[in-house]
Structure 1
Amino acid sequence: MMITRQDTNAARVLQGLEDGRPSVRLRAALAVGTTPDPRFVDELVERCAVEPEFLVRDMLTWALTRHPVAVTLPALIREVRSEGAQARSQALHTLSKIGDRRAWPAITRTLLSDADDEVARSAWRAAVILVPEGEEATLAAVLATQLGRGERETQLSLSRALVALGDVIAPALLAATTAPDPRVRAHARATRRLLCDPDAGFEFAIEEAKRVVALGGGGQEGR
């Protein structure tokens, strides 16, 4: 079988994606995105699952967005069911960048409550982008079950995702302000504050909410 110049270039690029030097992997991902080739999609998805460098992962995602959705979407949807946390997280991140709502059924409640914070955060971001019109309130109710989870960055990610859904989140947040867990109540209050005042700092909102909770404030105050 004749080996073409195109085949030789493809082999060189694929080798570059696995090179031990991050700069070489970055250039290889850039090359794949600059000249898209469906033959690279599976390799790009697989590399996302193990790539240790953030900048390279970001370039891999960009390269995937440059390929036909008909090719990338099935591969990414398979990947969100992977056993590897990074594989799930990066696939979700890439789906959010592609923004094709046909991926919505893949954003399951299991992913939205994934035990790994990075996976859950990626799922939250993807969900608010991919959610079909009319299903925002249902999504808000699911996301509200994660209030109080994790440390500052995780809580901020969830608050941002909820606020991005708009006023439909108000009932879910109001219900959460009466939850037994003080962390949930404080997080719900802080998110309500951000919904009302997007310019409010999250740190200020969460500390203020904690003070209110500590004082035993009720959850029925108006928005």
Structure 2
Amino acid sequence: MLLSFFQEQLIEAGCDEAGRGCLAGPVFAAAVIFPKDYYNPVLNDSKKLSEKQRMTLRPVIEQEALAYAVASISPAEIDKINIHNASYRAMHLALNALQVNPEFILVDGNRFIPYPDIPHECIIKGDGKYLSIAAASILAKTYRDEYMHQLAQDYPVYEWQSNKGYPTVVHRNAVLTHGFSPHHRRTFRVTDPQLKLAL
């Protein structure tokens, strides 16, 4: 059973990202603030839910949250500042866009660049422990998946509609055969699934 809050005194925002390990596409992040009495037994880590379950929960989260926001950082920016910094920047942008100002931030993972003047707590596997982080993981994942579906229409050889930019065998082989698209992260290493050659 996921917990409603880490602490009950302050307005708490949960943050999570999606797409950190991808070869292509932006990294997305979301921030979610729920009412103090909020509980939803269906919410869980987005990785533990089916695509249909995530898409069903997204409008529920958006309707029932006090505030939510989603942000992204482009592949070009990822290549400039590295994926870790890009993930934190995306979280900061999502926090900036919230219509309610948080007083405390819950972050999935073990690291975070502090957000100005607001305390935070990093929670390892927090998307499976706290509702707000789980909700943020669902929003980040579903918005990113939709974005990759749209890109796949113009770049069908990479099959982003199914792999969402992650380094599957099909995706890596497509990169080694056709090269990078404008949406690939050029600083990410692409290896041949059979020969272990690198691009």
TM-score (norm 1): 0.26
Larger radius of gyration: 1
From the two aligned structures, give the one with the greater strand fraction. 2
TM-score (norm 2): 0.29
* Structure having greater relative contact order (Cα 8 Å, sep ≥ 6): 2
